[in-house]
Amino acid sequence: MAERECYEIHLQGRLGPEWSSWFDGLTVSQQPGGETVLTGPVADQAALHGILIKIRNLGLPLLSVRRVEAGS
């Protein structure tokens, strides 16, 4: 089984940690300036696209999507 890729997704707007399960277990953290960051492993590209669709459906502006090294 392939190792899951880790991502860091920056959004404009505030979401609390209670949103983690809705975003497939990604860690949800708030940053200064009204930004929210979702971080963690994503199963595959289809799962990543599913997360991006959820963000779109919430109406939150997507600031960036970046693949990161696990544990960084």
Taking Cα atoms as reference points, which of 23, 13, 16 lies closest to residue 51?
23
Quote the pLDDT of residue 66: 97
User: Regarding predicted confidence, which is higher, 1 or 19?
Assistant: 19
List all residues 6 or more positions away from 19 whose beta carbon is below 8 Å from its beta carbon: 28
Model confidence over 41-69: pLDDT tens digits?
999 999 999 999 999 999 999 999 999 98
Domain range spanning residue 36? Answer: 5-68
Number of folded domains in the chain? 1
